[in-house]
Structure 1
C-alpha cells in the first residue's frame, strides 16, 4: 500500500524522536521512500548521521542551504512528497502551524506544502492539556490537518496521562489511511479472513484448511482503493495487512461478535473459513486416552455469519460477498448457497486437493450473482483480490 510512495518526515524535538528511527525503517520495509527533515531540537535526541543512514538520503536541517535555495529547495521538498508526516509533533511545531509562522525549515515546509499533513503529537500531559495547545489542535483540525494519537501512558518525565506519541504501527496505519485516495474513499468495508479454531480441550481444536492469504489480499486491495477496512482474522498463516483496522479472533463466536461490533458498513466480504460446528462443552483439561474407549464429543452449530448479515432488515451492507469453497459441482453448489444465504455475490472456487488452491498462492474463482456465473482464469491471489476489489468499487459507485 505504501510501495512507491514518497514521505517527507519531519522529526521534532522530544524524547519520542527515537521512535522516528524505527518509523523510517518500517516505511522502507513497506516500500516507501523517506526524505527526513530534522529540526534543531530534534537533533538533540537523534543524530543526523543515524537518520541519514536509515533513510539512505541526505538529512535536511537548514532553511538557508544556499545550494538548495538557489533552486527554491524548500518549495521543491514540500511538493515532491505524497504526504508530510511530523513525528514527533511538538507543542512548538503545532503552535507555529496554527499561527502560520515559518521561521525555520520545518515550519516553512509545512506552510509551503500542498500535500496532506499527518501529525503525531508528543509532549508532557500538562502541555497537551494546556488551553493553548487545545486551541491549536482545534485550529489545525479545522484546517484539515490529520492526527494520530497521542496516547495515554507513562512519560519520560515520570508523569502519566495523554501525550505519549503513537506507536510506530499506529503511525504506519494512519499513513496508509492518509494516502488512501480512490473510488472507495469514505466507504467502510468489513473483511473476514482465515480459519476459526473451535477448542476441544486446551491442546486440540477443530479447524478448516485456510491460510488466510486470499482474505488478506482482498483487504489490502480494498484499502489501496481508499476503503476504510476492518479486517477480522482468525489464526491465519500470513501476516495481517498494514493500513487496515485488524481484529484478531480465534473462534466462530468471537468472529460473529467482531462483525457485529464493526457494523455498520457499506460492504462486507466474508472470506473466512468459519468452522460450521463447535464442541458444546470443551474440556478445560487435556482429554486423556482411556481403556474405556473413545471420548464422546457433542457438537453445536455455529452462527452463520454470512446469512445473518445478508438477511439483516436494518443496517444491511449494500454489498455482501460470501465465499464457497467446494470440491464438486462448484457452480451449482455455490448458486444454491447464494440463494440460501441471500447474499449479493458468492466467490466460488474448487478446493479439491489436486488444485493446490487451498493454502496455495493462486486461485481460480467464479463470481455468482443475480446475473449468473462469471468464471475467471486461474491467477495469483493478489490479482484475484485486485479484480474483486475493482468490481466491488464499480458496484458501489
Structure 2
C-alpha cells in the first residue's frame, strides 16, 4: 500500500518516527510529508532514512512533476500524525499554503488524522468545529488519548500510541467499500455487569467485553455512529473504540447498564445487547464489608431478579423501525444443546436476531476467537460464523443489514 504520512509541528512528532517504522515493517511504502515546523522537532534525514523516500515541505520542488498533485493521486491512504490545532484549522478551511495541505486537497483516498495538542486547545469551540467539518467530509479524526502532555499537564489531547493509529488507519482502508451502516446510530453493550454483595465483593461473570468491542469497531468501520455501553471493561479494550470517535458510557451494575442503554436507544436504529447481564442481584447489600467469623457460616445472601433488558427493548422498541439484537451465552446440559437453548431463548426474548455461542472455561469468554449461530425471532438459523471476534462481528452486521434493508 502507498501511504502518505503527514507530520505537523508538535512535540508528539517524535511518535511519527515510530509510526513510520511500524508501517514500513508491515510492508507499506511510506512517503513523509511534514510541515516546516514539524522539521524543527524531527529532522528530514530521519524521515528519509526510515522511509527511503525524499522529504520536502515545498510545493515548488519538482515542479515539472506537479508533485502536490502526483502525491495525492498515487496515495492509497493518508495519515496525519500528529495533527495540530493549526493543521486541523487549515485543512478544515481548505488552505493550500504548504505541500501537506495542498496534497490534502488532491487526495481521493481515505484520510486519517490523529490530533495532538493541549487539552484547552482540543476542547476549544474552534477546534471542535474544525473537527466536525472534517468528519462531515469523510475524514477520520481519531479521538486523542488522555494522559501526560507537554510539561506537567495531563488530560485529553495526547497523541494515541503509534500501534493504535496504525490499527485505525489500516482498518479504514480495509473497511467495506459499501458503508452499509452509514447514517445509522448503533448502540452496543459490552462486558459483564457486577452486582455488589458488599463494598468489596460482587456477583459477576467471565465476559471480557471483546466481542462487544469488536462489534463497535466493525460498526464504526461500516460508517455507523456508535454508542458503546461498557460494563466493567479495561481501559486498553476501550482505546480502539474511543480512538475511532465512538461515544463510550461506562457502567457497572445491571441497573446502570439498563439506564444507559435505554437512554441511548431512543435515537438508535440498531441496539445490540452483547453484554453479559447478571440475572440476579442481592436484595440489600450491606454498607460494610461482610466479615469472616471463625466457626460461623456466613448469612445467606437473598437475591432478587434483575430486569430483562433485552426483552424490554424488544417489546418496547424505543424508536420506530429499530432492530434489536441479543446474545445468548449458553452451555449444553441434560435438557438440551447450546443451540436448542438458544432457539428457545430467541422465541422468549422477541428480539429480531439472537447470536448464540457456547461459553465456559477458555470458551467464548475472554478468548480471541468465537463461534456463533445467528437465529431469528422464531429460532431459525440466519447465519453462522467462526473465527476472530472481528470476523464474527461483521457476520452479525451482515445479518442486521440484511433484515433492516428489506
TM (norm. structure 2) is 0.73
Q: CA deviation at 1:306?
A: 0.9
In 2 relative to 1, CA 24–230 (structure 1 residues): closer, same or farther, beyond 3 Å? Answer: farther
Of 140, 144, 155, 2:137 maps to: 144
In 1, are the aligned partners of 2:76 and 2:110 still within 8 Å (CA)?
A: no
Matched, 1:231 2:228: yes
The alignment of Structure 1 onto Structure 2 pairs a total of residues equal to 384
In 2, are the aligned partners of 1:7 and 1:81 still within 8 Å (CA)?
A: yes
Q: Unaligned stretches of 5+ in structure 1?
A: none
Tell me the residue number matched to 1:8: 4
C-alpha distance in 1, partners of 2:135/2:209?
A: 40
Q: CA deviation at 1:378?
A: 6.9
Tell me the residue number matched to 2:329: 325
TM (norm. structure 1) is 0.75
Tell me the residue number matched to 1:58: 53
Q: CA deviation at 1:200?
A: 1.7
Tell me the residue number matched to 1:254: 256
Partner SS state of residue 112, structure 1: coil
In 2, are the aligned partners of 1:78 and 1:112 still within 8 Å (CA)?
A: yes
Matched, 1:214 2:187: no
Of 87, 99, 102, 1:105 maps to: 99
In 2, are the aligned partners of 1:190 and 1:232 still within 8 Å (CA)?
A: yes
In 2 relative to 1, CA 252–52 (structure 1 residues): closer, same or farther, beyond 3 Å? Answer: farther
Q: Deviations over 1:37-60 (max 9, x none)?
A: 11122211233355557x645362
Q: CA deviation at 1:275?
A: 0.9
Tell me the residue number matched to 2:373: 366
C-alpha distance in 1, partners of 2:77/2:68?
A: 15
In 2, are the aligned partners of 1:118 and 1:145 still within 8 Å (CA)?
A: no
Map 1:8-157; keep pairs closer than 5 Å. Answer: 8-15=4-11, 17-18=13-14, 20=16, 35-51=31-47, 56=51, 58=53, 60-63=55-58, 71-79=65-73, 80-83=75-78, 85=80, 87-89=82-84, 91=86, 94-95=89-90, 98=93, 100-102=95-97, 104-115=98-109, 117=111, 120=115, 137=130, 144=137, 146=139
In 2 relative to 1, CA 365–153 (structure 1 residues): closer, same or farther, beyond 3 Å? Answer: closer
Partner SS state of residue 321, structure 1: strand
CA RMSD between the two structures: 4.7
Tell me the residue number matched to 1:307: 311
C-alpha distance in 2, partners of 1:318/1:185?
A: 15
In 1, are the aligned partners of 2:232 and 2:251 still within 8 Å (CA)?
A: yes
In 2 relative to 1, CA 216–30 (structure 1 residues): closer, same or farther, beyond 3 Å? Answer: farther
Of 332, 339, 343, 1:335 maps to: 343
In 1, are the aligned partners of 2:369 and 2:388 still within 8 Å (CA)?
A: yes
Partner SS state of residue 316, structure 2: coil
C-alpha distance in 2, partners of 1:43/1:91?
A: 15
Q: CA deviation at 1:320?
A: 0.7
C-alpha distance in 1, partners of 2:82/2:257?
A: 35
Q: CA deviation at 1:396?
A: 2.5
C-alpha distance in 1, partners of 2:132/2:229?
A: 35
In 1, are the aligned partners of 2:191 and 2:231 still within 8 Å (CA)?
A: yes
In 2, are the aligned partners of 1:7 and 1:34 still within 8 Å (CA)?
A: yes
Partner SS state of residue 333, structure 1: helix
Q: CA deviation at 1:211?
A: 3.3
Deviates most, 264-273 or 329-338? 329-338
Q: Deviations over 1:3-26 (max 9, x none)?
A: x7x653322234554565576678
In 2, are the aligned partners of 1:93 and 1:107 still within 8 Å (CA)?
A: no
In 2, are the aligned partners of 1:97 and 1:111 still within 8 Å (CA)?
A: no
Partner SS state of residue 206, structure 2: coil
In 2, are the aligned partners of 1:268 and 1:317 still within 8 Å (CA)?
A: no
C-alpha distance in 2, partners of 1:388/1:89?
A: 37
Q: Unaligned stretches of 5+ in structure 2?
A: none
Q: CA deviation at 1:142?
A: 11
Q: CA deviation at 1:256?
A: 1.8
